[in-house]
Amino acid sequence: MDMTAVRLEAPATPTAPALLLRPWTQADATALVELHRDAMLRRWTSAAVDDEEGAAHWVRVQQRGWAARDRFAFAVLETRADGADGLPAGHVVLKRPVAGAASAEVGYWTAAPARGRAVAPRALRALVDWAFAAFAADGLTRLGLLHQQDNTASCRVAQKAGFAFTAPRPAAPPAFPLDGHLHTLVREQRPKI
């Protein structure tokens, strides 16, 4: 299967449009620069996208992840009534550095203009369903989600996407400078949507 052709969907809510998830492409580079002007995104994520070159590099990292099958990143788009593509509304990623491992990790952000419409939890649920189906035969049974303790919005996303709080996670600088929360979602226990 050509994994870069993967497309996922999340249904609309009464107040927000449906979501389409597809791998990032180089055509997204300009939008990525725009989205990374947001201070909240820069504060809570480690990606340093300052210009077109940085964005192109970031997309190449995502594309290499798909090729190596150890990182599966999706742009999240809100479907528009006119069928046109707007700016990406967010990003979700499955990180599975060890093939055949029982566990993997998820990550996410939502573009500033799209926040508050449950883009992240809905996209995450679509990612989770896909991950457990795509990697079932490969032994995937558990997904972890790590956020800094003071990132209360991210903690809400974890709860809404069905990830239970599992344990406090001590800081591990430089990658993870402050204490955090580990949330976990076990395949057999996940809520049915």
Ligand X SMILES: CC(C)(COP(=O)(O)OP(=O)(O)OC[C@H]1O[C@@H](n2cnc3c(N)ncnc32)[C@H](O)[C@@H]1OP(=O)(O)O)[C@@H](O)C(=O)NCCC(=O)NCCS
Nearer to ligand X, 56 or 93 (CB): 93
Torsion, Cα 107 110 111 116, to 10 degrees, reads -170
CA–CA dist 173, 189 (Å, integer): 32
Nearer to ligand X, 26 or 152 (CB): 152
CA–CA dist 131, 134 (Å, integer): 5
Q: Is 74 in the site for ligand X (CB under 6 A)?
A: no
The answer to whether the peptide bond before residue 174 is cis (omega within 30 degrees of 0) is: yes
By CB under 6 A, the residues from 130 to 149 that bind ligand X are 147
Per-residue x/- marks for ligand X, 18-57, CB under 6 A? Answer: ----------------------xx--xx------------
What's the min distance (Å) between Cβ of 59 and ligand X? Answer: 18
Q: Is 154 in the site for ligand X (CB under 6 A)?
A: yes
Nearer to ligand X, 4 or 8 (CB): 8
163 by Cβ neighbours in 10 Å (0-12 / 13-18 / 19+) ranks as: buried
Nearer to ligand X, 4 or 117 (CB): 117
What's the min distance (Å) between Cβ of 111 and ligand X? Answer: 7
User: Closest-CB residue for ligand X?
Assistant: 116
What is the size of the binding site for ligand X (CB under 6 A)?
Answer: 22
Q: Which helix (H) or strand (E) element contains residue 52?
A: helix 52-68
Q: Is 156 in the site for ligand X (CB under 6 A)?
A: yes
Return the amino acid letter for 26.
Q
By CB under 6 A, the residues from 87 to 126 that bind ligand X are 108-110, 115-121
Please state, as a whole number, how many other Cβ atoms lie within 10 Å of the Cβ of residue 46.
Answer: 9
Torsion, Cα 165 108 157 185, to 10 degrees, reads -40
Please name which of 187, 178, 179, 109 lies closest in space to residue 144, comparing C-alpha atoms. 187
Nearer to ligand X, 41 or 140 (CB): 41
Nearer to ligand X, 96 or 147 (CB): 147
Query: Given the rule CB under 6 A, which residues bind ligand X?
Result: 40-41, 44-45, 108-110, 115-121, 147, 151-154, 156-157, 160
